[in-house]
Amino acid sequence: MTPSLDASNTMTDYTSFFTFEGGDIKVIATFKGQRIVGKVNSQCMVAASPVWKKFIFPPWLSLSQPPSQQSDVEGIFDGIGGMQITSTPLPEPQKIDCSEDDGHALLVLLRIAHFRFEGVPTSLTTDTMLNVALLCEQYLCRNLVLPWTSKWLTNATTRSTFGWPEPWLYIAHTFGDAKLLEHVARKVVMEAEFPSDGELTVRRHGGGSRELQEPLPSGLLESIEEVRQDTIKALLAVVYRHIDQFGGLEQRPCQRGSIECGVCKYQRLILHLRSLGIFPRCETYEGGLEKFSKIVAKIGDLLWYDHTNKIGQHYAGRGNTGDYHEVCFKGTYASEV
């Protein structure tokens, strides 16, 4: 019977957890704060991971001799020189030291490698799943766990929405879940803040923020920052392009022929942009992209805001107070955003 991963903390000896049938190599593990010395099957370990294979069969060890072979000093007679040459085989590997690995995650991999499938959990905590992913990368054995990942990732989209994003970025990347990776990465791009004097800061649903933490898939942070910055620049370009339609020879005319229409809208727009910290013109924004996108979208309201009453009352006699100016200077702002 396979011991349960949820065994009580009252147990004092977990050696049986890490002892497998046909075990011929010692494995050192750390489980629930205890140092465990178990035994694993070398052939199962070799088949499961190329890294474990190198531990058991180091490149400098003669492959002609299995590690379990015990032999005395061999005598080889050189018939030409009459000299007897002696050679001593390299020592057998005595152990695999995995004491730095997370014990729960290591046990999951060992049970799969030794075909102890009844002891493999169908669900994992986020921390354990992350540690399994880390060990899969460390030991180059991602394929070993693929039959279980779909079960482990059940409701992962919902779980990732309410937790910190970094573990799920790594989990999705390691287990090859492209949809989950896109979902979490998009969330980071939209919600992360990037203050000029600090690191990229992420938020968690329900409150709390922190700097983006390792581990992260290689190159992902750079990609997130690049997409975020490119999107901000593109949105700012839309805003500034529509500011440029006011004044000069290329100014789009008011639909009602009112000079005051453009003046009023331009003043309101510039004041609003100044309050947001994006005027005078800039190329970046420190806050979250999702918040910034909503701000930029709302700027459009100022471009087609109905100013008829203000224009008519402030500039008496210069227009019909019943005129509507909601289409003036509207252009293609909404579609561009």
Share of residues in the chain with pLDDT > 70 (%): 69
Grouping H, G, I as helix, E, B as strand and the rest as coil, residue 160 is: helix
Q: Where in the chain is the domain with CATH 3.30.710.10?
A: 12-59+89-119
* Residues in contact with 61: Cβ distance below 8 Å, sequence separation at least 6, in sequence order: 67, 90, 93
Sheet holding 95-97, edge to edge: 34-40, 25-31, 95-97
Q: Which residues on neighbouring strands pair with residue 19, listed in sequence order?
A: 39
pLDDT tens across 78-125, in order?
444 444 544 445 455 568 999 999 999 999 999 999 999 999 999 999
pLDDT for the residue 97:
95
Q: What mean pLDDT is predicted for residues 301-314?
A: 48
* Strand 83-87, strand 95-97: pairing: unpaired
| Cis status, amide bond into 215, omega within 30 of 0 | yes
pLDDT tens across 113-155, in order?
999 999 999 999 999 999 999 999 999 999 999 999 999 999 9
Higher-confidence residue of 299 and 190: namely: 190
Arithmetic mean of pLDDT over the chain: 78
Q: Which residues on neighbouring strands pair with residue 74, listed in sequence order?
A: 87
| H or E, element range at 147 | helix 142-152
Strands (E), the chain: 25-31, 34-40, 74-78, 83-87, 95-97, 201-203, 209-211
Grouping H, G, I as helix, E, B as strand and the rest as coil, residue 75 is: strand
pLDDT for the residue 218:
83
Q: What mean pLDDT is predicted for residues 292-310?
A: 60
247 Rama class: left (phi>0) / alpha (psi -120 to 50) / beta = left
Grouping H, G, I as helix, E, B as strand and the rest as coil, residue 337 is: coil
The residue count of the chain comes to: 337
pLDDT tens across 152-196, in order?
999 999 999 888 999 999 999 999 999 999 999 988 888 887 766
Most confident of the following: 152-156, 205-209, 285-289? 152-156
Burial 272-288 (b: 16+ CB within 10 A, else e): bbeebebbeeeeebebb
Most confident of the following: 24-33, 214-223, 234-243, 316-325? 24-33
Most confident of the following: 18-32, 57-71, 73-87, 291-305? 18-32
Least confidently predicted of 250-254, 286-290, 310-314: 310-314
* Residues in contact with 45: Cβ distance below 8 Å, sequence separation at least 6, in sequence order: 25, 52, 53, 55, 56, 96, 113
pLDDT for the residue 160:
92
Burial 199-218 (b: 16+ CB within 10 A, else e): eebbbeeeeeeeebeeebbe
Higher-confidence residue of 261 and 323: namely: 261
CA–CA distance, 203 with 75 (Å, rounded to integer): 69
Question: Would you state the structure tokens that stand for residue 217, as one six-digit string?
Answer: 């898939």
Q: Determine the topology of domain 12-59+89-119 in CATH.
A: Potassium Channel Kv1.1; Chain A (3.30.710)
Higher-confidence residue of 100 and 274: namely: 100
Higher-confidence residue of 316 and 203: namely: 203
